[in-house]
Structure 1
Amino acid sequence: MEAYEIFAKVYDSIMDQTLYDRWTDFSLRHLPKTSQKNKLLELACGTGIQSLYFAEAGFDVTGLDLSADMLKIAENRASSAQKQIVFKQGNMLDLSQVGKHDFVTCYSDSLCYMQDEGDVGDVFKEVYQVLNDGGVFIFDVHSTYQTDEHYPGFSYHENADDFAMLWDTYADTAPHSIVHELTFFLQDEDGRFTRYDEVHEERTYDILTYDILLEQAGFKSFRVYADFEDKEPEKDSLRWFFVAEK
């Protein structure tokens, strides 16, 4: 059973829906304004909610995700909304099949799931190759404050009629890394509940590391902001936003 197969079933229920508005607003503030319909590639698109927001904002959207289960939900969502969105199953470490794009986004700290900084750098190189000249890459990651101070000991429990979830987070051994332990109880057709367990590992790096990796990938400039706002990161910022230009 793939990592997100069970998670996909309840992901939209537990996700803070207001975040999609904030990611959209941030993107629209930092992507160049043009008269043409720009091609946008959304990495780690999940169940397609953000892809739909981008399509409604006028972009020609392609969504990429590892999880076939999440993409099925995404395709149904786009069809119901009567939006033409291309969804592809794939790994952001290999973007050779997605074509060229004007913009690329990678939100919801999805880059933090990369195994190490070498993989993060490889993703940056892949993104650079699929961006048109002058194209923009926007991504967000956990800050080191978030992984080191905020998340360890974090606990979130959700109860609904047909599922329950326990989400606990601990510090991991590598610097600025965390482990999310998730337990789901999902109701079967016969009314009984089945338990599923998952482990999600995330890791971030300091801003200088991201700076070096972006430069090594070829990006000519980048800016960094914090917590969905157009402000510089502070000591206790939780989420960093990078806007890089090819």
Structure 2
Amino acid sequence: MSYGRFAEVYDKLMNDMPYDDWTRFVLDRAKHHKVSGKKLLDVGCGTGEWTIKIAQEGFDVTGIDLSETMLAVASQKARQSGVALQLFQQDMAEADGLGMFDIITIFCDSINYVETEEDVRKTFAAMYQLLNPGGLLLFDVHSIYKIEHLFIDQTFTWDDGDIAYIWNSFPGESPHSVEHELSFFVIEDPSRNSYIRFDELHKQRTYTIDNYIAMTEEAGFDMQSISADFTDLPPKEDSERIFFTVRK
């Protein structure tokens, strides 16, 4: 998933994301598990909005993303914020050569963009190799409920005058997967009310909680906790975002 021109409008469309909740989750887990080191790898860092926020909490942060365009935006934002980030274009399933970390995060359902189960397994194996002993991998995923009941066969629209989109979601080819077809309309000349259109296809796939437990344990991790929707409570049938804390 390269995101293409989506990087141009990403921050505007994502300005209501719960970035502070992800920050609290990291700080709480680091304290609870007594992780004293401050080296953090943010996987799927996108335009760096949350990556910058967690760096401002005192972490030494490296970010990786598959999209060169997203990383260019993240680099510019980091400079403007006076935050030092190391940013690299890498596939999470093949991440290496980045050094060692105390905490690795894969948030905002980034791992759901990994299209095959083999590559999800490779991702967990790669993260294990990048963590110091005792380090934490923190990640979240869409629940099966969200994929199958809140996304599939749904249409979403949005228009703020400068940017508009039509977002249609369809069943994917694999179990518990969805394909999002998005058409964006970005204003080009306000005086003439003219827009540029571009289209994106985003594919996401999730797995059962037991699958995620098995895949992380196969990579060598010890499962520490599973929770839902930014709470400390276990997932319910209608939970939308599942959080995993695993330790090396």
Q: TM-score scaled to structure 2, two decimals?
A: 0.93
State the distance in 2 between where 1:125 and 1:200 align: 24
Matched to 2:27, the amino acid is L
The letter for the 1-side match of 2:226 is V
Partner AA of 1:193 in structure 2: Y
Quote how far apart the aligned CAs of 1:3 are: 3.8
CA contact (8 A) 2:180 2:202 kept: yes
1:31 matched residue in structure 2: 30
Query: What residue number does 1:101 align with?
Result: 101
* Structure-to-structure mapping, 1:32-111, within 5 angstroms: 32=31, 38-111=38-111
Aligned sequence identity (%): 38
- Where 1:175 maps in the other structure, the secondary structure is coil
Residue in structure 2 matched with residue 219 of structure 1 by the alignment: 221
1:21 corresponds in structure 2 to 20
Map Cα deviations across residues 66-101 of structure 1 (whole Å, 9 max, x no partner): 111111111111111111111111111122121110
Q: Deviations over 1:16-39 (max 9, x none)?
A: 434111111111111247695510
Q: How many residue pairs end up in the alignment?
A: 245
- The amino acid of 1:13's aligned partner reads K
Give the deviation of 1:163 after TM superposition. 2.3
Say if 1:3 and 1:198, in contact at 8 Å, map to a contact too. no
Q: Which runs of no fewer than 5 residues in structure 1 stay unpaired?
A: none
Give the distance between the partners of 1:102 and 1:200, measured in 2 at CA.
31
- Measured in 2, the distance between the counterparts of 1:18 and 1:48 equals 13
TM-score normalised according to structure 1 size: 0.94
Higher alpha-carbon deviation: 27-36 or 82-91 = 27-36
For residues 36 and 75 of structure 2, what CA distance do their matches in structure 1 show? 25
Paired letter, 1:83: V
**Structure 2: segments with no counterpart, 5+ residues:** none
| Mapping 1:222-233, distance limit 5 Å | 222-233=224-235
Task: Please give the root-mean-square deviation of Cα atoms over the aligned residues, in Å.
Answer: 1.8
Cα offset for 1:221?
A: 2.7
More divergent stretch after superposition (195-204 vs 123-132): 195-204
What is the CA-CA distance between 1:103 and the residue it aligns to?
A: 0.5
C-alpha displacement at 1:123, in angstroms? 0.2
